[in-house]
Amino acid sequence: MADEEPIGITRRRLGAGAMVLGGGLFFASLPAGPVSAAPPDSAEPAAAGGGRPTLRRGSARRAGLLAGHLDRLVTEAEAFLGPSPEHPWYAGAVLLAGRGGTVALHRPLGMAVRYRAYDEKTDTGVEFPADRQIPMTEDTVFDLASVSKLFTSVLAVQQIERGALELEAAVASYLPDFGRAGKTAVTLRHLLTHTSGFRAWLPLHKAPTYEERVRLVLDEAPVSAPGTAYLYSDLNLISLQLVLEKVTGRSLDVLLRDGITGPLGMDRTRYNPPASWKPVIAATEDARPPWSGLDRGLVWGEVHDENAHSLGGVAGHAGVFSCAWDLAVLGRTLLNGGGYGRARILEPESVELMFTDFNTGFPGDGHGLGFELHQHWYMGAMATPRTAGHTGFTGTSLVLDPTTDSFLVVLGNSVHPVRSWRSGSAPRVAAANRLARAVPVRPAPGRDARGGRTSWFSGMAGSTVATLTLPALDTSSGGARLRCALWWDTEPHADLLTLEATTDGGAAWQPVPFVTERRDEAPEQHAAGTATGWSGRVWHGLTAGLPAARSLTLRWRYATDRLYVGRGVYVDALRVRAYGRVLFDEARPADAARVEAAGWTRSAD
């Protein structure tokens, strides 16, 4: 079942590509995103006898995170247990956040099982007696819904590594019946990137038998030619399941156990959990028509998705149950390049491929192999061109940011007692924003006499205009130039940073073109006097020629829309010179005292 429809977000494109050579993967060079934030305090532990970092619990400081923002992450998440805006967004949740090999936050909230039914006449939940309600714990198991697609995708890439599948091969070459109804040109890549042309969903559960449900998928005609449009569809991953089972001769649940959960020790992750697990599983929905396609009553311990249920609980698009720690292990494995301790489930080149945007032709719909990329609508300020993740309809999500080596798991039972109680992805965005803010951005080193102790920070509020204004300067002699350090990461195009000037006391402001430059890269011209989107999360040197005027006032203006925000903007070491004369230098206390900040604050992060 598809999760909430994302609001269109424009992305910066990645210039990487991939080819398949002889069944193997060849990855065109993709530069890793630089880690501009402060690293964890200590090196990450490797498994005994060597291997990649494994997870352990630790402090925010050890993870290189700011503890206060992790505390606020929890406080903000707790608010969604109340009206959001009318009903609770979830009955409960488990939050997990960390960086490197350190899990700095693992917190349960609310109830795993609270309601026994939903009363549609009064739009209220009918609660279990207090002694039968079950609180969330760190180990509560959730129906992951569409987050299951990530497991299917990993299994497919494993088979590509082994030469059993080719990324650009036609699906029909492995599954001949798939070629019916105009699908002969659909490739495995189209399935993994949701560009096959499949419609979003089919009510497979209405067919009377498993065989007929599969036949509906094989007989389905595409609504667009493969590769010409992005359309998120469960049918893509169901089709991929059929391919995997055909080429391996094993069912998807066995592939999951042998290829992922077994090697990684994820013993609380599986399809079709046994009845003995029920007391530790979060309940989902009181599933009845008309809001559900099946009349099942309270779904608890069985897959919520109707189609996955009709396929026996084992499906490529939904059906995996897991807990927050196990999902973090998967996330750490991928951030490690496919290894965890002494186990390896993928080669590093394969992980890079999964985090590569194949959908550059469809701005706003960045997608690697199975993973969604750069999606502010649930990744919030963690979103970068390399940030990978997925959501699930039941209220689940996983976000991985290779740029800062951080990871976030939000597991909520947001369809308990009914799916209509929640809307949007506000808790996911709030948690991601707070974790992004917890990764410190150190002031620009060596920029001024202050030694880089603090820098100006725009904040991360939505629907805001923040201004940072220098005092009026006499630039009439000409040759005046502004120099400073600039760091920005904003929602592309929607949130804009502008350098502007006025010569009439503020009646009219005009943009000031500027140039930014970072190490080992060509200077970037900002002819419109603006900056937006992704800048690599590193400091840039900035230079701007200033107009000649008796009284020139400069300001930075940062304007955000109401929906989503990036990590924000930092400015440091502001200095204006003209022919060797210093007109302004914020390192001088007298000059710094004259800076007017509306919405900007000094930050030492």
Burial (CB < 10 A; 0-12, 13-18, 19+), residue 507, is exposed
> Which amino acid type is present at position 326?
D
Of the candidates 406, 492, 411, the one whose C-alpha atom is nearest the C-alpha of residue 144 is 411
Q: What angle (nearest 5°) sits at the alpha carbon of residue 592, between those of residues 587 and 596?
A: 145
Supply φ then ψ for residue 554, to 5 degrees: -105, 150
Alpha-carbon distance of 317 to 145, in angstroms, equals 7
Strands 455-457 and 601-603, how do they pair?
A: antiparallel
Helix, coil or strand: residue 529: coil
Classify residue 403 as left (phi > 0), alpha (psi -120 to 50) or beta.
Answer: alpha
Tokens describing residue 513: 């073109």
Nearest alpha-carbon partner for 300 in 142, 411, 149, 95: 142
What distances in angstroms separate CA 86 from CA 7, 78, 90, 422, 469, one per listed residue? 22, 15, 12, 9, 41
Strands 102-113 and 56-57, how do they pair? parallel
How many whole angstroms separate alpha carbon 10 and alpha carbon 366? 9
Q: Return the half-sphere exposure (C-beta side, CA atoms, 13 A cut-off) of residue 115.
A: 24
3-state helix vs strand vs coil in the chain, percent to 5: 25, 25, 50
Measured CA to CA, the distance from residue 291 to residue 64 in angstroms comes to 45
User: 44: exposed, middle or buried (C-beta count within 10 Å: 0-12, 13-18, 19+)?
Assistant: buried
**Which residue in 305, 177, 185, 183 sits closest to 243, CA to CA?**
177
191 alpha carbon, distance to own chain's centre: 20
> For residue 487, what are the β-bridge partners?
570
Q: Which 3 state secondary structure label does DSSP give 596?
A: strand
Residue 538 near residue 572, CB atoms below 8 Å: no
* Rounded Cα distance, 549 and 520, in Å: 35
Is residue 146 annotated as part of the catalytic site, yes or no? yes
Please name which of 232, 259, 236 lies closest in space to residue 158, comparing C-alpha atoms: 259
Residue of 84, 146, 310, 458 with catalytic role: 146
What are φ and ψ of residue 556, in 5° steps? -95, 135
β-pair partners for 61: none
Q: How far apart are CA 487 and CA 350, in angstroms?
A: 31
Pairing of strands 568-578, 455-457: antiparallel
How far apart are alpha carbons 499 and 104 in whole angstroms? 38
Q: Which residues are marked as active site?
A: 146
